Structure 1
Amino acid sequence: MPALAKYMLRRLAQLLPVALIIVLCSYMLLRMAPGDMVDVMAGESGSATPEYMAQLREQFDLNAPGYVLFGRYLNNLAHLDLGYSFRNNMQVAELIAQRVPATLTLMLVAVVIAAVLGISLGAVSARYRGRWLDEVISTLSTIGFATPVFWVGLLLIVVFSINLRWLPSAGMQTIGGVDGFWPSLLDRLRYMALPALSLSFFYLSIYVRMTRSAMLEVYGLDYVRTARAKGISELCIAVRHVLRNALLPLVTITGLQLGSLMGGSIVVETVFSWPGLGRLAFDAVFQRDINLLLGIFLCSSFLVILMNLLVDLLYAMLDPRIEIRS
């Protein structure tokens, strides 16, 4: 078996204990929170007798000890069953599967925007270090790094939705849909523009700062001075020699961002009413839907682990000096 295949199998085998620890910690933290699903339902109804609430807890099997419920949950996981969401009257796996495409699309578009613009601006900033263009880009990246994501989203809504009326402020597509492939695609892009820009704004600033720092470090190496002595153009040096060798830390940042974007997507999806996993997790917290929250946490954790594996593989592709050993 090739070394790459052995390495991937070994890393995938490590998912089981990590996932078990994540599920245990998530379950304990959720169980420590006061109240349960029955309390939320009683509050929504306006009034409920203690007898009725006890009946609901018996119906939803909430009276058993915590370790018993956790054992049942692990047994369900062993059978690839994430449980049942009584609040949504659906299987958790089915509910998550309905929301995953919307969240993944939003996250990937946000990462592409942040990576392309961030790396480009960072490369320009490093190329013109100390000049006015460098100062402007550095100042804007600092502002973006310090600005809350939800505030950016609200600001974009005020400017582009309320004042200019160019883009919609909520939802994923026009109610009822649009006929035709291209009109439907353009309609979805219009609805995605503001959420994707809001989610990418913070991470774009990170890319700018990381690219500038990494490229300035590479600019000081001997082989760059040798390339200049040979008469190679500055553009070729920047793209082929400097930027390529500065991509390794950026690959790490990209992998970490794909895992951490879930936290940012909760805020953005709530602000823009985007029907994804983030909005689903936000609603599940207030509904005390533990099975649904555990399912979302588990999927997010697997996403982080898989992104770390992908980053390791990209390292070996970008830098021939890095070897993957089984």
Structure 2
Amino acid sequence: MWKTIVRRFLIMIPQLFVLSLIIFVMAQFMPGDPFTGKITPETDPARIEELREQAGLNDPWYQQYARWIGNAFQGDFGNSYTYKIEVSTLIGERAINTFWLSLLSAIFLYAIAVPLGVLAGRYNDSLFDRGVILYSFISFAIPTFVLALIFLYIFGYQLGWFPTSGSVDVTQEPGTFGYTMSKIYHMLLPAITYAVLGTTAIIQYLRTEVVDAKTMDYVRTARSKGIPMRKVYTRHIFRNSLLPVAAFFGFTITGLLGGSIFIETIFAFPGMGQLFISSIASRDYSVITALVMLYGFLALLGSLLSDIIMSIVDPRIRIE
């Protein structure tokens, strides 16, 4: 198993190299550059050209790429043209906000999806099951930005139950209990919205697995031995039904740092998703390339983690 894990990590190196090349070339085709937005009628064109020359934007693309990838291997992704700080520092600050928001979202997601999926499968074709299926269809059909706007309007502006923007109350001092509670309070509405939209797949997987498991021989054998149905569900059906969910758990873990572009943008939450959108709008190449590289690495890492988790949950599966 360990040999396979090391081999998979080694395979990631050329994959990330190819990804970095594609990302960098595509960034070069974007119209304009980081200094385009600074041009006004009063701007001296010579000064803008001087800034471009200092930033190396007039060099051939392959020279820019060689310089960028060499620095990237040393952990230096350059400076943000918009925020005027190091890209690694900027992403680190936003990644913390995104991580906690996504972690809270994942807690709500599984707290909603697992009970609904298992109970819908156990009492399939009942009124409760039909209600869960209807909920799944509605949550699947509604676009992310539509539900986010509805929740923001109702619970944020009309009822005033939750903040409508930001990640913390500016009057709170960092490190205090009030500061922590304020951050959680600001994350509740975006996290609930994110969770409601993400439950569909898990509910359907669990429901289908539970319905199928009820007809399996091991369930009949357990029932014939007089084992109560409650224990059959908790010890046999529930555990086996979680296998499809475990298969995606690795992507869920790595997705904690990916963030949600729509959720963070609509709720004005300063996370990775919002940073990605703002960087594209301002043509902040250094931030864009670093973020896409991070997303690519997280996708590859998620695939590996899913394989490892599956091998742990199901002893029949081994990574070879």
Query: By the TM > 0.5 criterion, same fold?
Result: yes
Aligned residues: 320
Distance 1:8 1:186 in 2: 39
Distance 1:262 1:154, change over 3 A: farther
Distance 1:96 1:180, change over 3 A: closer
1:22 aligns with 2:19: yes
Per-residue deviation at 1:259? 4.8
Q: C-alpha distance in 2, partners of 1:180/1:38?
A: 38
Q: 1:36 aligned to 2:50?
A: no
Please name the residue that 1:239 is paired with: 234
* Alpha-carbon distance change, 63 to 180 in structure 1, aligned in 2, over 3 angstroms: closer
The one-letter code of the counterpart of 1:288 is R
Partner of 1:132: 127
The letter for the 2-side match of 1:54 is E
Q: Measured at CA, do residues 182 and 49 of structure 1 come closer, stay the same or move farther in structure 2, by a change above 3 Å? A: closer
- Picking from 208, 212, 218, the partner of 1:217 is 212
- Which residue identity lines up with residue 279 of structure 1 in the other structure? Q
Instruction: Show the counterpart of 1:65.
Output: 60
Q: Contact 2:121–2:207 at 8 Å: present in 1 too? A: yes
CA contact (8 A) 1:107 1:258 kept: no
SS in 1 for 2:260: helix
3-state SS, counterpart of residue 90 of structure 1? coil
- 2:105 aligns with one of 105, 110, 127: 110
Report the AA paired with residue 279 of structure 2: A
Question: Contact (CA 8 Å) 2:120, 2:128: kept in 1 or not?
Answer: yes
CA-to-partner distance for each residue in 1:200-222, whole Å, 9 max, x for gaps?
22211211111111222222211
AA aligned to 2:190 is: P
Greater mean deviation of Cα atoms: 151-160 or 255-264? 255-264
Tell me if 1:55 matches 2:55: no
Does the 8 Å contact 1:113/1:204 carry over to 2? no
The answer to whether the 8 A contact 2:209-2:241 is kept is yes
Q: Which moved more, 1:23-32 or 1:287-296?
A: 23-32
Measure, in 2, the Cα distance between the counterparts of 1:276 and 1:175: 17
Percent identity of the aligned residues?
A: 30
| Residue 204 of structure 1: aligned partner | 199
Verify the 8 A CA contact 2:98 2:259 in the aligned structure 1: no
Verify: 1:164 aligned to 2:146, yes or no.
Answer: no
Kindly indicate whether the alpha-carbon contact (under 8 Å) linking 2:248 and 2:306 is maintained by their aligned counterparts in 1.
no
Counting only pairs closer than 5 Å after superposition, residues 79-90 of structure 1 correspond to structure 2 as 79-90=74-85
Alignment-derived partner of residue 244 in structure 2: 249
User: Which residue pairs with 2:295 in the alignment?
Assistant: 300
State the alpha-carbon separation in 1 of the partners of residues 28 and 196 from structure 2.
Answer: 35
Q: Output the TM-score relative to the length of structure 1.
A: 0.91
Deviates more, 1:263-272 or 1:185-194: 263-272
State the shift of 1:196 in Å. 0.6
**What does 1:276-287 align with in structure 2 at a 5 Å threshold?**
276-287=271-282
Aligned-residue Cα RMSD (Å) equals: 2.0
TM-score by length of 2: 0.93
Separation (CA, whole Å) in 2 of partners of 1:258 and 1:179: 27
State the secondary structure of the residue aligned to 1:34.
coil
1:228, CA displacement in angstroms? 1.7
Bigger mean CA deviation after superposition, 251-260 or 80-89: 251-260
Partner residue of 2:142 out of 135, 140, 147: 147
Unmatched 5+ stretches in structure 2: none
Q: Which amino acid is the alignment partner of residue 254 of structure 1? A: F
